[in-house]
């Protein structure tokens, strides 16, 4: 299987909120990288996970599938999943795949944190 072209960084911004910086390509091969980052954030006590897509270079349909399965995990543990920094193109993809109906999308990280705290 090809190597994932995705790097993640987990930042805890409050006791309850963690930001996952997504950098590179979100494809099927990024499954483990994304899951490991989510697990790290969750183990650290995060109740809200914000995916920061500021440095997302590319996402295909398998990447969207990963977000769906991540959302299921988040819902199962009564956490919340939000996103920020999506380009207009990927906002359109969220609309096409109807992910926007289940995942809150915000322009900036500050907006997403504010929404998480409200």
| Candidate residues 97, 104, 111, 115; the one interacting with other proteins per rule CB under 8 A | 97
How many other CB atoms are found less than 10 A from the CB of residue 82?
Answer: 22
For 8, other C-beta atoms within 10 Å of its C-beta total 21
Distance, in Å, from the CA atom of 99 to the CA atom of 35, rounded to the nearest integer, reads 19
In angstroms, give the least distance from the CB of 90 to other proteins: 9
**Cβ-based nearer residue to other proteins, 56 or 113:** 56
- Binding residues for other proteins, rule CB under 8 A, total 24
Closest approach of other proteins to the CB of residue 103, in Å: 9
Does 32 engage in binding with other proteins (CB under 8 A)?
Answer: no
Q: Are 68 and 103 in contact (CB under 8 A)?
A: no
From the CB of 98, what's the least distance to other proteins, in Å? 5
89 interacts with other proteins by CB under 8 A:
yes
Which neighbouring-strand residues pair with 106? 84
What is the enclosing helix (H) or strand (E) of 14? none
Residue 93 sits in the site that holds other proteins (CB under 8 A): yes
Strand partners, 62: none
- Binding range to other proteins, per CB under 8 A, among 12-20, 44-52, 66-74, 108-116: 66-74
């Amino acid at each position: 299987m090809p190597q994932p072209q995705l790097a993640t960084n987990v930042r805890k911004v409050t006791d309850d909120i963690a930001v996952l910086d997504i950098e590179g390509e979100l494809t099927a091969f990024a499954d483990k990288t994304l899951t490991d980052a989510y697990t790290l954030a969750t183990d650290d006590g995060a109740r809200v996970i914000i995916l920061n897509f500021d440095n997302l270079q590319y996402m295909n349909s398998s990447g969207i599938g990963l977000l769906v399965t991540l959302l299921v995990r988040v819902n199962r543990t009564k956490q919340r999943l939000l996103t920020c920094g999506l380009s207009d193109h990927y906002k359109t993809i969220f609309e096409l795949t109807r992910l926007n109906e289940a995942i809150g999308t915000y322009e900036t990280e500050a907006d997403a944190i504010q929404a998480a705290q409200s």
